[in-house]
Structure 1
Amino acid sequence: MTMADRERDFENRFIHDQELKFRIRARRNKLIGLWAAEKLGKTGPDANAYAQEIVRVDFEKPGDDDVFDHLMADLGEMGITEKEIRAQMEELLKEAEKQVMSE
């Protein structure tokens, strides 16, 4: 195996890992969106639309702050705390990873 082959393998592995992380985060955002939709009393198509909105919100800025801020704005008035939202995001990240890895 030449150095160029190793570099190409490394680049391909990096790309694969980044795509996997993206899919896991997108799945987590959908799951947290469905969780929040339930808290907001949304069901069926309305719940799915809200979950898709949360997925799109994640593209606004790097990291989880955009998703968290959106959820906090929607759920904070209902008495759901920052700690609860962050804990749910953490738990659903693990669930999303399990789901994506089993596909």
Structure 2
Amino acid sequence: MSTFDNRERAEENRFAHDQEVAFKARVKRARLLAAWAGPQIGRTDIAAYGDELVDADMQEPGDEDIIAKLFADFKAAGVELSRHTVEVQLQRLGEQAKAEVRA
């Protein structure tokens, strides 16, 4: 096997690993969001709500799907919140999730 083949295989392995870590961090972020949002909207089944948020987050690339789910849930519970609040939580909990997954 040539050096080029070895480098190519190493790059493919690194890419696959990075994708796996990113996926695990997204799932962890959704579960952290459930722990943050659940009590505010009256959800006591945080694990089940986390699963709902994971499912919502996997609908489309990006964060719009999970943001829409959170807004719908807050609205249904009669709780007002701003998009800025949601985006700040997404960012903060996303960073926390990445750190926890890497640890």
Q: Matches of 2:28 and 2:14 in 1, distance apart?
A: 21
Q: Matches of 2:74 and 2:87 in 1, distance apart?
A: 12
Shift of 1:14: 0.5
Shift of 1:69: 0.6
Residue 31 of structure 1 corresponds to which residue in structure 2? 32
Unaligned runs of at least 5 residues, structure 1: none
Residue 75 of structure 1 corresponds to which residue in structure 2? 74
RMSD: 1.2
Shift of 1:47: 1.7
Q: Please list, as runs of the form range in 1=range in 2, the aligned pairs for 1:43-54 lying within 5 A after superposition.
A: 43=44, 46-54=45-53
Instruction: Name the amino acid aligned to 1:97.
Output: K
59-68 or 74-83: which moved more?
Answer: 74-83
Instruction: Name the amino acid aligned to 1:58.
Output: D
Unaligned runs of at least 5 residues, structure 2: none
Q: Matches of 2:7 and 2:35 in 1, distance apart?
A: 42
TM-score normalized by structure 1? 0.90
Q: Please list, as runs of the form range in 1=range in 2, the aligned pairs for 1:1-103 lying within 5 A after superposition.
A: 2-43=3-44, 46-76=45-75, 77-102=78-103
82-91 or 70-79: which moved more?
Answer: 70-79
Instruction: Name the amino acid aligned to 2:83.
Output: E
Instruction: Name the amino acid aligned to 2:25.
Output: I
Q: Matches of 2:96 and 2:22 in 1, distance apart?
A: 13
Instruction: Name the amino acid aligned to 2:33.
Output: I
Note the alpha carbon deviations across 1:64-96, whole angstroms, 9 max, x for none. 110011001111441111111111111100110
Detail structure 1 runs of 4+ shifted over 4 Å in the superposition.
none
